[in-house]
Amino acid sequence: MAVVSIPDPRWVDALSDVPGVELVEWDMKSPPPRSDIEVVVPPYMSSPKRLEHLAALPDLEAVQLVTAGYDHALPYLPDGVRLANGAGIHDTSTAELALALVLAAQRGIPDFARAQERGEWLRAAGRPSLADRRVLVVGYGSVGRAIVRRLQAFETDVTVVASRAREGDDLVERVHGIDELRALAPQAEILVLIVPLTDDTRGLVDAELLALLPEQALVVNVARGPVVDTDALVEACQAGRVRAALDVTDPEPLPEDHPLWSAPGVLISPHVGGASTAFEPRALDFLREQLGAHARGEGLTHVVHPR
C-alpha cells in the first residue's frame, strides 16, 4: 500500500477510491504526521517554505505538484526524490486568462472600465482587433497548445516557438526553435509567453528583444515574471514602444509603488492564470491517474527532475 499525503480533506475524500493507495491528510504547515509517506502532494498556491518538511521523510520517493511550474520546489527537493509537475491541469484556466488579457488589451477594456466609473462615454472606435493579428507564442507545451487552439478560433496568424525546432502537428505546420526567436520577433504584433522558468528562459525577453518587436506590439506573460526583464519592459512601455498584459511579474507580488502599475498600456492581473473553478476537477482527475499509476508500480508521468 503506497502512503500518499494530500493537502486538503475534501481531496482525501474525493481520491479515497484510488486502489493501492493510503491517503494521509497533510497541509505541510507542520512536520509530517508520519514518517512512511512515499509521495507528497503539496498544497496549491502555498508558500514554498512548507517544502522544507520534505527533508523529514526518509521513505519519500516523489513529490507530485498540482502546478505546471516547478522551479519553486527544486531548492527543497531531497537528493534522489523525483519531482513531477501538474502538466495539463491548468491548460484550460491559463489559456482562458491569456485570451482574456489579449482581448482586454486589444479592445481597450481597462479604459472602458475606468470611464464607466467616471460615467464617461468614450469615443474609442478603431481599437486593434485580435482578428488578423500575427501572434507569436513562445512555449509549446500543453498550455501553449491550449492557447494556440483558442487563438486560431479568433482568426489570427499564429507562429509557435519551443526549446527546439520540430515538425508541426494538427495545429501548426512547424514548431520553431528558440534560436529563431529574434528573427521572428519583428513580425510579432502579439507576443505570448508560456515557458517554464529555467536558466535559459530567465530574462529571455530583454531590451534587445523588445526593440525588435513592432511598434505597439503587445507582450503577454502568463509564464513566470523573471522570463521578462522588468526594467526593460517598464522603459519600453513608458516610451510607448510596446504594451503589456501580465499575469505574472518580477518582483511578485508587485509593490504598490512599482512603476509597472502606472506604465501606459500595461494591464496586470495578480497571478491567477490557473486559479479558476476549472482547477479542482482537473487536478483531482490528474491525481487519480498519477497516484493509481504509482500504486501499480508504473511510476509517475511528467517527471521534471531528475530528467
Hey, which residues are catalytic here? 224, 252, 271
First to last CA, the chain: 26
Give Cα 241 to chain centroid, integer Å: 25
Residue type, 217: A
Instruction: Give DSSP secondary structure letters for 101-142.
Output: HHHHHHHTHHHHHHHHHHT-----TTPPPSTT-EEEEE--SH
> Distance of CA 117 to CAs 75, 110, 112, 121, 260, Å?
45, 11, 9, 10, 22
Cell 511550474 locates to: 69
Residue type, 237: C
Reading phi first (left if > 0) and then psi (alpha if -120 to 50, else beta), residue 301 is in beta
Are 15 and 286 within 8 A, CB to CB?
Answer: no
Give Cα 44 to chain centroid, integer Å: 13
Give the span between the Cα atoms of 181 and 192, in whole angstroms.
12
Give the span between the Cα atoms of 248 and 80, in whole angstroms.
31
Cell 477510491 locates to: 17
CA angle 145, 271, 164 (to 5 degrees): 35
ω before 186 within 30° of 0 (cis)? Answer: no
Give the span between the Cα atoms of 249 and 252, in whole angstroms.
5
Contacts of 16 (CB under 8 A, 6+ apart): 23
